[in-house]
Amino acid sequence: MSEKLAVHGGKRTVPEGFIKPWPHVTEADRKAVMEVFATARITEQQQIQSEGLAKEWAEYMGVQYCIPVNSGTAALHMCVAGLGIGPGDEVIVPAFTFWASAAAVLHHNAIPVFVDIDPTTYCIDPNLIEAKISDRTKAIMPVHIHGMPVDMDPLLEIARKHHLGVIEDVAQAHGARYKGRLCGSMGDVAGYSTQASKTLSSGCQGGLFTTNDEVVYRKAALLQYFGEWVVPGREREEQEYNAYGLGWMYRGDMFAQAFIRSQLRRLDENNALRIRNCNFLTEHLSGIKGLETPFVPEKREPVYYNYVVGFNPKELGVDISARTLREKVQEALRAEGVPTGQWQRLPVPMQEIFQNRVGYGKGCPWKCHGSEVEYHKDDYPRAVEFIDSHCYVFDVNPPNDLELMGMYVEAFQKVMDHLDQILE
Ligand SMILES: Cc1ncc(COP(=O)(O)O)c(C=O)c1O
């Protein structure tokens, strides 16, 4: 091991070009996409790919209905609309997520109400939900963040008690399980993203909507395609051209769908390889003083969309903030060739749109519906603390394997062994 840190001119631990990109594209994926061109009329493929993906994802999830769409945000918006949530209604959302979870609520003129996170899993804390329920609350949106399943049983119990819908945001958790149940199969509706970086990736944009409820499915289907009823594959011939309500254009793309269908065949295998990589990191990084590795509660099977590392300066006896320690170590790790970074910079309710309640203009939806919901900066201390004290280690996806994970561990060890040099 080179003793001189790369950030001070030493040899980097992970050689340039060693890391393999995600999604991993195989010959089977290429063939699947090329087959879209194989029919005489390419337009037929729209129905073939969409229905094929809907059937295969519903089967994988063990649910009744699936609608492939063009983004996770679209799928979540369909969840909100499908449950009949409307202007001025409130939906409970975790304070730490990608803000698209909350945008999906705003898109339907409803109002997100945020709840802080569980400091051990970084998912919504079910213990804090009831205090945020009002007579306007219509649903709870658990987000399985970083691929970690939310503690669903207490959350479902609260939803039952208060007659609330449950919208699962599974953008980051395809194939993750809670007490043996797949994330996305426990609530009333679920939205999944298949955007390029996701554990089920289209290589570009995409999303999936699922439910077991026929009425919800039909409402979501209407919203997905201009608010019109159409017979798939016979749009021109049998379309009524009669909008039953306001709809959007959320249809997915057939090339992306062909790619996802091929990737889906390897989802469990890829998840298993990613989990093995991350378990290796946890096993080795947890022994390094000053670092905190992900905590996995019993009966939860995360898929590690992101691998999260925390920093604890107190454990090292150094008088600096967790944020400063993280930033210094990250800089040194990056020089070693370890792709570490930040994701969210602010809890969602602290972002401008909520601080200024700008919404879609003139203070709506808040002002338009006499909403008193406010977003105070001090209400989400755990989300703030998480963001300050944690970083992400990227590229834990296959085909990267334990050889790369070993280099990551070596680089962490090297940097943490030479902390005095980077904290000077
Ligand atoms: C937690 C979460 N929810 C929703 C989304 C939105 O998905 P998309 O980017 O496909 O619209 C994302 C993804 O980026 C996400 O990470």
Q: Whose CA is nearest to atom 8 of ligand 1?
A: 72
Which two tokens mark 192? 């999944």
Q: So what's the pLDDT on residue 91?
A: 98
pLDDT band with cut points at 50, 70 and 90 for residue 419: very high
> Distance, CA 238 to ligand 1 centroid (Å)?
34
Is the pLDDT score of 231 beyond 80? no
Q: What is the mean pLDDT of residues 212-233?
A: 91
Ligand 1, residues at Cβ distance < 6 Å: 71-73, 97-98, 100-101, 143, 169, 171-172, 193, 195, 207
How far is it, in rounded angstroms, from Cα 81 to Cα 392?
33
How far is it, in rounded angstroms, from Cα 49 to Cα 254?
6
> Distance, CA 73 to ligand 1 centroid (Å)?
6
Q: Which atom of ligand 1 is nearest to the CA of 207?
A: 10
Distance, CA of 83 to chain centre: 21
How far is it, in rounded angstroms, from Cα 14 to Cα 90?
47
Q: What is the mean pLDDT of residues 203-231?
A: 94
Instruction: Using a pLDDT cut of 90, give the percent of the chain over it.
Output: 92
pLDDT band with cut points at 50, 70 and 90 for residue 203: very high
Crossing angle between the packed helical segments 44-61 and 254-264, to the nearest 10 degrees: 30
Q: Whose CA is nearest to atom 7 of ligand 1?
A: 72
Q: So what's the pLDDT on residue 424?
A: 79
Is the pLDDT score of 72 beyond 80? yes
Q: Give the residue with greater pLDDT, 242 vs 191.
A: 191
pLDDT digits (tens, 9 = 90+) for 19-30: 999 999 999 999
Is the pLDDT score of 2 beyond 80? no
Return the CATH number of the domain spanning residue range 27-266: 3.40.640.10
Buried b (16+ CB within 10 A) or exposed e, 91-112: bbbbbbbbbbbbbbbbbbbbbb
